[in-house]
A and B are shown apart, each in its own frame.
Chain A
Amino acid sequence: MIQILLWAPLAAGLAACAVPRAASGWVALVGPLISLALAIAVVVQFHPSGGLQHTVDESWIPTLGVRYQLGVDGISLFLVLLTAVLWFAATLWSAINLPERPRTWFLMFGLAETAVLGAFLAQDLILFVLFFDLMLIPFYFLFGSWGAEHPGRPEEGEGPIRPQPAVIKMIVYTLVGSLLMLVGAIATGVLAADGGPVDFSIQHLAANPLGSGSQYWIFWFFAAAFLVKMPAFPLHGWMPDAYRVAPLPALAIFSGVLSKVGAYGFLRIVLPIFPAATTHFQEVILLIAVTSILYGSVMAFSQSSARLIAGYSSVAQLGFITLGIFSLRADGADGAVLQMVNHGLVVAPLLLIVVVLAARAGGDDITRMGGLAMRAPVLAAMFLIVTMALLAIPGSSNFVGEFYILNGIFQAKIVYAFVAAIGIALAAYYALRLYQQAMHNRKPEGIESREVGLLRGMVIAGLVACIVALALWPGLILDRADHSVGTQLPSAQQTSTQVAER
């Protein structure tokens, strides 16, 4: 079943290449639909305390010790569901208004979903790296071929941004990280085997940790890959350009899901396999996380491009998630898992709404928007819910997530909790500023306020419904994640107590 879940999008994408252009979108939609149905089925069947479930384990490249191992546990469960939901929404969105060269577009969409699902499902380190790198190929084409030139920030002397340089920058940044991770992964497997048969299974590697000397340098190879992907503060250089040129339905899933793969990687791979290094470098990563929160928030409220506000707010939000993971406590990590899903569900509709607004205002510059709520009450209402979720108002699921994260970090490293709390206040500021400037105020000349189309509105409404549902029932995720998160942490906890005793 998990196999179909993984490969259906790619198969549908290939099938879409074989049908006439007008029908390609609906054919391609079958894949994400199947994946979504199966993902829901997996969630329903999931046993909260059952560990790894729906496992597949087959020999793939015996000479190199690489196995084709898949499985779902409490950490990946809802990320898989999130991926399926967002991809379904984005594919539906592009099926409603077809882009140019739709067949290649949908092929890349399908390939991207398969790669992302593969990264969440993989239980073999090399397989994970493979899917992790594979994700880049479709997004390279999606951003590069369908991206549009962005005017940039002329007031700051920044010229227009063209898609190709932006996307090459993105690829080089991300691959620098992930290729080093490939070396790190191979080194982990070979060193752990110690002359015996090499086994890259994550569980096997977690059970046989390396010496702390090797862990220290390999840790950074992995950390670099994940921090670039998120992106975290000093490594975010590719983000502003890529976010501004990207075609929006693709950006919605990119921002909603791919940034989570980095955070997921920390939880799935770094914590269990490199426990000694994790404890050793905890403070460094926490520092990066806090800096990301502050930098992302400050940048988010000083930008005028709606895409950049979303992008920088992601930097800040991912900072929170990292903070939760590296609190190395179960409550912090639980909150991080919940927050990953929350943020994906918030940022995707936010970006889709930005498309709609940009179509009204002729650009994504919020200083030139205004008064758009006047004749679009439904759009305004949906946007308001998304905004409230983004700033984590009490009652929203984001509030629960951030509360857990802060609770965890408060008990682990109290200083960081105080600094991070500032980030929450800033979030309220930039989220409300975005909403106000776009929807309220006086309507400038030449901007038309009109309601969102029915089909597009339904896509956004579906995602907003997910936000509301999760706000009412965050325990859905927390209950199922808790056990799996617990199994990831003990080794890290154990060594940290050992270090403390020394």
Chain B
Amino acid sequence: MSFNAPHVDYAGLSPVIALTAGLCIVLLVGLLPRLGRFRMAGLTIAVLAATAGLAIWQWGSNEDLVAGALRLDAFGLAVTLIACLAAAIAVLFSIREPAAEEAGHGAFYTLLLGSVLGMTLIAQAQNLIAFFVALELLSIPLYVLSASARREERSLESGLKYLIIGSIGSATLLYGFALLYGASGSTDFSGIARALGPGGNGNDTLVLIGTAMVATGLAFKTSLAPFHQWTPDVYQGAPTPITAFMAVATKAAAFIALARLFEVALGPIAHDWKPALAALAVASIAIGNVGALSQDSMKRLMGYSGIAQAGYMLAGVVVATETGLKALVFYLAAYTLMNLAVFAVVLARERETDRGDDIEALAGIGGSRPLLAWPLTIGMLALAGLPGTSGFMGKLFLIEATVDGDYTWLGVVIVAGTMVSLAYYLRVVAAVWMRPEPTATPAMPAIAGASPDAPGDARSEQVAGTTNPVAGAGGSATSTKGTGRCPLIAGSALLCGAATVVFGVAPSPLIDWASHAASSLATTLG
């Protein structure tokens, strides 16, 4: 009698292994005294880069891992790449973040990496148990990170709120899983699909209730209306780097996981859940867009905008076609870039002014800080889906998917939502370009000579510090340092903004990437 040791596919698991190892290293190195914050950030980014590199190496493989609990395919790896990008940029954002300082950079980054690990796993999970564990791994670090600005009541409130609502979502999801298991007798996606398939018990009440609860649980995570109430509060209260990370990476992971769960495990009963998800999409588009109209806080505005955008993206899942999934992956990638561009600018202005994330903090930066104003403008126009940006291409792709999947009316709803959204996206753009910068201090006489042409004067003198009336009076060349400007943040804003335009003009590389990722899932659909 021979004993076979279980086969472990180390190559396939390498991104996960790299993340886990890196997480431990960052945690331990973080304990060392007097290690500069730049080194910690560098180490974290190195871990993320290694993970992304390994994910790219494994790109194109298509196999089961860990006894079928995980599925290694490009569809899941797409999330790994998006999450690594978002986390790396969040690390750049956090270098000077007070919250990271308080929590200790090591612990802060460890939690971030833990969340990325959860995202990587949930996107690959094809087993209910693995799915749930990954979901918790993804969420728990985020609860902590949201509350990491311990001296701010709002941050603590945000963390607590997120914890409670997230737990309700998880509990609902878990209950749904239990019902699905009860109905199908399997925790494997393929097993469930077989049990629900032709001749199976697809119309069982148990299955339908289970599906509804799973959809509800995931709707909490993806902030789909009417399960969205936490989003604006948590977004506003959490430290901005974490908000930025949550807004894009959580959304990507949750959407990919949702698509895999619904289109693989629950694929046979698609005709049952398609109308329900379509209703969720419509509700999100309506509530998100209307809610964003009256917001003055940029983070709340982005929270509501995220709800609406989640509604658009859900349309890609609703149609349950390969085109829909392609559109979803493309939109997620494009959304990541444009959202990060916006958050970078919001964060930069939060540091530069004392007006926090209020829209006032962005007023008039078109004249004084063009390098921040342009990425923000591009990001806003892209979110609104105007041409010349990847947002237009994403909408084009999504609408083509809805028309193709006989859901033309949903395409019209997306467009109607976009029209409403213009009102608040353009309000931000108007604040940036068409309003004077509010003066922070009454020190105007000191720069009376410089002020008349300060708004008219864009590029060349922006380094010279005409923006800051206080510093403008003194040595103008040295003023850039003291005003809390972060070249790294401005740099990532520029990078994301430029990528948004590039993929809006030449979208083919990103579309090919998304198509490849989406078609790798369709093979499991069979």
Our pick among B326, B399, B430 for the contact of A168 (Cβ within 8 Å) is B430
Interface residue from B393, B415, B433, B512 paired with A179 (Cβ < 8 Å): B415
**Is the CB of B426 closer than 8 A to any CB of chain A?**
yes
Bound form: Cα–Cα A179–B512 in Å: 25
At the interface, yes or no: B381 with Cβ under 8 Å from chain A? Answer: yes
Complex interface bits, A175-197 against B, C-beta within 8 A gives 1, otherwise 0: 11001101100110111000000
Task: Out of B326, B387, B395, name the residue touching A63 (CB < 8 Å).
Answer: B326
Are the C-beta atoms of B419 and A186 separated by less than 8 Å? no
Q: Choose from A60, A137, A186 the contact partner of B388 (Cβ within 8 Å).
A: A137
CA distance A190 to B427 in the complex (A): 34
Q: A130 CA to B515 CA in the complex, in Å?
A: 22
One of B194-202, B257-265, B403-411, B471-479 at the interface: B403-411
B313-330 interface with A by 8 A CB criterion: 326
Q: Which residue of A lies closest to B460 (CB)?
A: A20
Give the shortest distance, in Å, between B411 (CB) and chain A (any CB): 5
**Cα(A60)–Cα(B507), bound, Å:** 8
Question: Within 8 Å of chain A (Cβ to Cβ): is B235?
Answer: no
Q: Does A101 sit within 8 A of B, measured CB to CB? A: yes
Docked-complex contact B400 and A64, CB < 8 angstroms: yes
Give the Cβ gap from A182 to chain B, nearest Cβ, in Å: 7
Contact, CB under 8 Å: B392 / A187 = no
Partner of B458, one of A62, A104, A167: A104
Given the contacts A101-B455, A137-B381, A180-B415, A144 and B434 also touching, CB distance less than 8 Å: yes
Contacts of B388 in A (CB 8 A): 130, 134, 137
Taken together as a complex, chains A and B put the C-alpha atoms of A406 and B381 apart, in Å, by 43
Q: Is there an interface contact between B408 and A187, defined as CB atoms closer than 8 Å?
A: yes
Known: A61-B508, A133-B386, A172-B422. A101 touches B367 (CB 8 A): yes
Q: Which of B371-399 contact A (CB under 8 A)?
A: 381, 385-388, 392-393, 395-397, 399
Q: Which residues of A contact B512 (CB under 8 A)?
A: 63
- Would you call B33 an interface residue if the criterion is a C-beta within 8 Å of the partner chain's C-beta atoms? no
Partner of B397, one of A64, A164, A179, A190: A64
| B-contacting residues, A128-145, CB 8 Å | 129-131, 133-134, 136-137, 140-141, 144-145
Contact (Cβ within 8 A) B395 A137: no
Question: Are B434 and A183 in contact (CB-based, < 8 A)?
Answer: no
B383 to chain A, nearest CB (A): 14
Give, as a whole number of angstroms, the nearest-CB distance from A199 to chain B. 13
- Asked if B459 lies at the interface with its beta carbon under 8 angstroms from chain A, I say yes
State how many angstroms separate the Cβ of B206 from the closest Cβ of chain A: 37
Contacts A63-B515, A64-B511; A131 near B400 (Cβ below 8 A): no
- The answer to whether B426 and A140 have CB atoms under 8 Å apart is yes
Report the bound CA distance from A172 to B422 in whole Å: 7
List of B residues within 8 angstroms of A183 by Cβ: 399, 403, 408, 411-412, 415
The residue from B387, B426, B427, B429 contacting A131, defined by CB atoms under 8 A apart: B387
How far is it, in angstroms, between the C-alpha of A190 and the C-alpha of B396 when the chains are bound? 12
Q: Which B residue sits closest to A189, measured CB to CB?
A: B400
In Å, the complex CA distance between A144 and B433 comes to: 8
CB contacts (< 8 Å) of B366 on chain A: these are 104, 145
Contact among B396, B430, B433, B459 with A186 in the assembled complex (CB-CB below 8 Å): B396
Say what secondary structure dominates the interface of chain B.
Answer: helix
A63 and B422 contact, CB distance less than 8 A: no
Per the bound structure, the CA–CA distance linking A417 and B381 in Å amounts to: 44
Give Cα A168–Cα B430 distance, bound, in whole angstroms: 9
A100 on interface, CB distance cutoff 8 Å: yes
* Shortest beta-carbon distance from A174 to chain B in Å: 10
A62, A144, A176, A190: the one within 8 Å of B400 (CB): A190
B459 touches A103 (CB 8 A): yes
Task: List residues of B (424-445) whose CB comes within 8 Å of A's CBs.
Answer: 426-427, 429-430, 433-434
Contacts of A191 in B (CB 8 A): 403
The reply to whether A171 and B392 form a contact with Cβ atoms under 8 Å apart is no
Instruction: Choose among B395, B404, B408 the residue that contacts A182 (Cβ–Cβ < 8 A).
Output: B395
B360 nearest CB across to chain A (Å): 15
Given A141-B433, A171-B426, A183-B399: A130 and B387 interface contact (C-beta under 8 Å): yes
Q: How many Å from the CB of A352 to the closest CB on chain B?
A: 23
Cβ-defined contact, B392 with A172, below 8 A = no
> Nearest B residue to A143 by beta-carbon distance?
B434
Please give, as numbers and ranges, the residues of chain A lying within 8 Å of B456 by CB-CB distance: 100-101
* CA gap between A321 and B366 in the complex, in Å: 40
Contact among A63, A144, A168 with B423 in the assembled complex (CB-CB below 8 Å): A168
In the assembly, what is the distance between CA of A167 and CA of B426, in Å?
10
| In the complex, residue of chain A having the shortest beta-carbon distance to the beta carbon of B413 | A183
The CA-CA distance from A126 to B393 in the complex, in Å, is 10
- B residues near A30, Cβ cutoff 8 Å: none
Digit string of A267-280 for contact with B (CB within 8 Å is 1, else 0)? 00000000000000
Give the distance in Å from the alpha carbon of A321 to the alpha carbon of B434 in the complex. Answer: 36
Instruction: Look across to chain B and name the residue whose beta carbon is closest to the beta carbon of A129.
Output: B387
Does B418 make an interface contact (CB < 8 A)?
yes
Min CB gap A319→B, angstroms = 26
Separation of A136 and B433 alpha carbons in the complex (Å): 16
A17 contacts partner chain B, Cβ-Cβ < 8 Å: yes
Residue of A137, A172, A186, A198 touching B399 (CB-CB under 8 A): A186
Q: How far is the CA of A111 from the CA of B162 in the complex (A)?
A: 44
* B411 cross-chain contacts in A, Cβ below 8 A: 183, 186-187
B residues less than 8 Å from A103 (CB atoms): 458-459
Chain B contacts of A474 at CB under 8 A?
A: none
Nearest chain A CB to B97's CB is how many angstroms away?
33
Is the C-beta of A163 less than 8 angstroms from some C-beta in chain B?
A: yes
- Which chain B residues lie closer than 8 Å to A133 at the CB level? 386-387, 392
| Contact call A176/B419, Cβ cutoff below 8 A | yes
The complex places the Cα of A187 from the Cα of B406 at a distance, in Å, of 10
Complex CA distance for A450 and B16, rounded to whole angstroms = 79
Interface CB pairs A-B, < 8 A, 26: A21-B457, A61-B507, A63-B326, A66-B396, A100-B455, A101-B367, A101-B455, A101-B458, A104-B458, A133-B392, A137-B388, A141-B433, A144-B434, A145-B434, A164-B434, A167-B430, A168-B427, A171-B422, A172-B419, A179-B385, A179-B415, A179-B418, A179-B419, A182-B395, A183-B412, A190-B403
Residues of A within 8 A of B (CB): 17, 20-21, 60-64, 66, 100-101, 103-104, 126, 129-131, 133-134, 136-137, 140-141, 144-145, 163-164, 167-168, 171-172, 175-176, 179-180, 182-183, 186-187, 189-191, 198
Can you name 13 extra interface pairs (CB under 8 A) apart from A144-B430, A180-B415? A60-B508, A61-B393, A62-B508, A63-B512, A101-B458, A137-B387, A144-B433, A168-B422, A168-B423, A172-B419, A180-B412, A186-B396, A186-B399
